Structure 1
Amino acid sequence: MKKKIAPIVIGLGLVGLAGCSDDNGSGNSETENNETEFGSVLSTSDAGEVTTDDILNQMGTSTVANQTFQLTLDSILKDKYSDAVDTEQIESQIDDEIEQMGGEEQFAMALQQQQPGMTVEKYKEQRITNAYHDKFFEEKFEVTDEEAKENTREASHILIAVKDENAEEGASQQPQAPQSDLTDEEAKKKAEDIKAQLEDGADFGELAKEESHDTGSAQNNGSLGYVQKGQMVEGFDKALFELEKGEVSDVVKSEFGYHIIKRHDEEDIDEELPQIKKQIVSKKIQENQDKVLEYYKEVLEEYNADFENEEIKTFIEDTYLSPESQQAPDQSSGEQPAEGEEQSTEEESTEENAE
């Protein structure tokens, strides 16, 4: 039932582009960072030369400007937060992920499936770069422990889904919706029966495993983990945040069917606060794109950043840095399955489509 909240972290740009403008040679060479210096002339023939400008023009101003902006921010935030990020710890975490997946070859194949062209080395670089951006946003959108706790609940639920009538006509608006053959009336009655069983002392987790149509959470006793206020569909969200610790809701209707929601005691919330805060920051970023651009502009000014090419400079200023602009740069979370994050439940996939 969660709404999709995508982390807004600038991903790595095109490796090597940053070194093109100052290199007047015609051959390739490796820098101390193992990045290729392509040179200004890439090929020659009787028909003429192909230069880096030819390639960049083929890519287009917007693409080059986006990458320039991203790489500029990456380098600034690396300089600003290098002492605050433990790169060795990140690399060690990735090494553990590689081992858990059965070795670097299997890990690399998984990366390729998720993002063609991604290598293990680039993935490590991307994770470290993302950590610099995380620090930047954590500083700008500061979340206190109190705020995190007030806006977070640990919840489980049992969903009794309603049959999607559109599916019979091959025109379902929710192609990944939980499967059900129950009419609205039947689903409501079944949910009420389950609620009655709970009141008679039945175990919530066992009923979730047996009855819930949210197969993702059902496998874990109906658990949705920790969720933030506003992360769930409206009716579900309202009911959850009205519950006391340990309390179970009445039957709650949403576009997916009927829910019975349980709020847990949240005994281990202190241990989860770092990750909870990160999720809240991600949500704030998505809801405050104008502030994100303001913060970018401030850090560029702090570092006296300037864009030498007039077309690129104009594009970046008009697109990202002007008062009228509300558009954030092309962004990528850089997140891969190998990080071990929880997989989205079936209903989360549904919500992404429904929203």
Structure 2
Amino acid sequence: MKKKLMPVLIGLGLIGLAGCGNGEDSSSNGGDGETQFGEVLATSDAGDVTVDDILNEMGTTQVANQTFQLVLDQILQDKYSDEVDESEINEQVDAEMKQYGGEEQFEMMMAQQQPGMTAENYREQRIASTYHDLFFAERFDITDEEAMENAAEGAHILIAVDEEDEDGLSDEEAEEKAEDLISEIEDGADFGEVAEEESDDPGSAAEQGSLGLVTEGQMVPEFEEALFELEPGEMTSEPVESDFGYHIIQRGEEENLDEELDAVKSQMVNQRIQEDPGQVLTFYQDLLDEYNVSFENDEIESYIQETYMTDGEEEAAEEEEAEDAEEASAEDAEEDADEDTEEEDEE
């Protein structure tokens, strides 16, 4: 049975198919379809170069993926245009770029993470992701109230256990150090400063221990349970043990959590998609049916149906067939065992 993972990536807004994927800047025409290429792109005494030639060079898979991506983006923009302020998203992107020293520096940083990515590509993906997040939040029925209940601002100080390294701490030493740090903080030491100096989690230590918004299911159970039991502004009075070591956990004040609901919902969407990717296929199928989508090219339609569309009846039949086979195998084994027993009795 074919595994359908690509829709999950699209739903998360993590890829810009075709253009970004091949290292080229697909935004030269603004990505808005304004350029009219025509059917023939070049002529010569050797023959013409047509749009079909280019598409065939790209290959059915890439063309079909790009087609499906653009169809989804177009539909979702139409569906949620009144709920998304694209100018606000662009302002947020501008602010991000400024933090990295401007657009040029930002593009250099992005290119290291994803070759071919440009600032314009990034803007388009951020906007597309917002529409996708709205769609999935609605389909998963994630309300503002649920988002508020399932999120917390978290920070921690990690004291790692490393008994193999002669300079590392044993379990007992790590727990004792964590207890001492809790006492220091309770006596007036600043949590953020202690995190910077003592935490063995370099990523959060650089942010004074901050983990940002944490949604349920995102962290290991021991950590999450301790965090959500705290009141805003409160810190654990004892170290919390996990496979990573001992944590001193602090919950943020969360005074402006309602302003970050979109980010919370986005995290919850990602989590639920990971928990059950199959639902995404059903959501896409319903969306295409709602908008009467028809793919005119047979090869593209076939590829999209096989890759992105639900085949619940087929999968259910396969599962039922597998179960029947298992039952038949068990029955055969039982009959063979009975026959062996009878033969032994006769002897």
State the TM-score, normalized to the length of structure 2: 0.71
| Gap runs ≥5 in structure 1 | 16-28, 169-179, 327-355
- Which residue is equivalent to 1:286? 274
- Which residue is equivalent to 1:338? none
| Within-5 A mapping of 1:195-344 | 195-198=182-185, 202-245=189-232, 246-324=234-312
- Which residue is equivalent to 1:173? none
Q: Does structure 2 conserve the Cα–Cα contact (< 8 Å) formed by 1:247 and 1:264?
A: no
Rounded Cα–Cα distance in structure 2 between residues aligned with 1:207 and 1:10: 35
- Which residue is equivalent to 2:67? 68
Q: Does structure 2 conserve the Cα–Cα contact (< 8 Å) formed by 1:187 and 1:257?
A: yes
Q: Which moved more, 1:105-114 or 1:204-213?
A: 105-114
- Which residue is equivalent to 2:127? 128
Residues 203 and 90 of structure 1: CA distance in aligned 2, closer, same or farther (over 3 Å)? closer
Residues 190 and 66 of structure 1: CA distance in aligned 2, closer, same or farther (over 3 Å)? same
Q: Does structure 1 conserve the Cα–Cα contact (< 8 Å) formed by 2:97 and 2:103?
A: yes
State the AA in 1 paired with 2:215.
Q
Out of 8, 13, 23, which is 1:9 matched to? 13
Rounded Cα–Cα distance in structure 1 between residues aligned with 2:265 and 2:17: 27
Rounded Cα–Cα distance in structure 2 between residues aligned with 1:154 and 1:164: 32
Q: Does structure 2 conserve the Cα–Cα contact (< 8 Å) formed by 1:155 and 1:262?
A: yes
How far off its partner does 1:297 sit? 1.0
- Which residue is equivalent to 1:336? none
Rounded Cα–Cα distance in structure 2 between residues aligned with 1:221 and 1:130: 29
How far off its partner does 1:214 sit? 1.7
How far off its partner does 1:313 sit? 1.1
Q: Does structure 2 conserve the Cα–Cα contact (< 8 Å) formed by 1:43 and 1:50?
A: yes
How far off its partner does 1:187 sit? 1.9
**What SS does the corresponding residue of 1:117 show, helix, strand or coil?**
coil
Q: Does structure 2 conserve the Cα–Cα contact (< 8 Å) formed by 1:230 and 1:237?
A: yes
Answer with 1 or 2: which has the greater Rg. Answer: 2
Rounded Cα–Cα distance in structure 2 between residues aligned with 1:252 and 1:163: 17
Q: Does structure 2 conserve the Cα–Cα contact (< 8 Å) formed by 1:11 and 1:70?
A: no
Residues 185 and 50 of structure 1: CA distance in aligned 2, closer, same or farther (over 3 Å)? farther
Structure having the larger proportion of residues in helix: 2
1:225-250: CA deviations, max 9, x gaps? 32111111222122223334424142
User: Which runs of 4 or more aligned residues in structure 1 lie more than 6 Å from their structure 2 counterparts after TM superposition?
Assistant: 29-32
State the AA in 2 paired with 1:39.
E
- Which residue is equivalent to 2:344? none
State the TM-score, normalized to the length of structure 1: 0.70
Residues 79 and 264 of structure 1: CA distance in aligned 2, closer, same or farther (over 3 Å)? closer
Structure with the bigger RCO (C-alpha within 8 Å, sep 6+) is 1
1:298-341: CA deviations, max 9, x gaps? 11111111112222212211222132499xxxxxxxxxxxxxxx
- Which residue is equivalent to 2:171? 184
Q: Does structure 2 conserve the Cα–Cα contact (< 8 Å) formed by 1:30 and 1:37?
A: no
- Which residue is equivalent to 1:152? 151
How far off its partner does 1:151 sit? 1.4
The CA RMSD measured in Å over matched residues stands at: 3.5
Q: Which moved more, 1:72-81 or 1:216-225?
A: 216-225
Q: Does structure 2 conserve the Cα–Cα contact (< 8 Å) formed by 1:158 and 1:260?
A: yes
Rounded Cα–Cα distance in structure 2 between residues aligned with 1:310 and 1:272: 44
Q: Which moved more, 1:103-112 or 1:125-134?
A: 103-112
Residues 121 and 206 of structure 1: CA distance in aligned 2, closer, same or farther (over 3 Å)? closer
| Gap runs ≥5 in structure 2 | 1-7, 20-28, 316-347
**What SS does the corresponding residue of 1:82 show, helix, strand or coil?**
helix
Rounded Cα–Cα distance in structure 1 between residues aligned with 2:123 and 2:230: 42
Rounded Cα–Cα distance in structure 1 between residues aligned with 2:154 and 2:289: 44
**What SS does the corresponding residue of 1:253 show, helix, strand or coil?**
strand
Rounded Cα–Cα distance in structure 1 between residues aligned with 2:51 and 2:161: 57
Q: Does structure 2 conserve the Cα–Cα contact (< 8 Å) formed by 1:10 and 1:70?
A: no
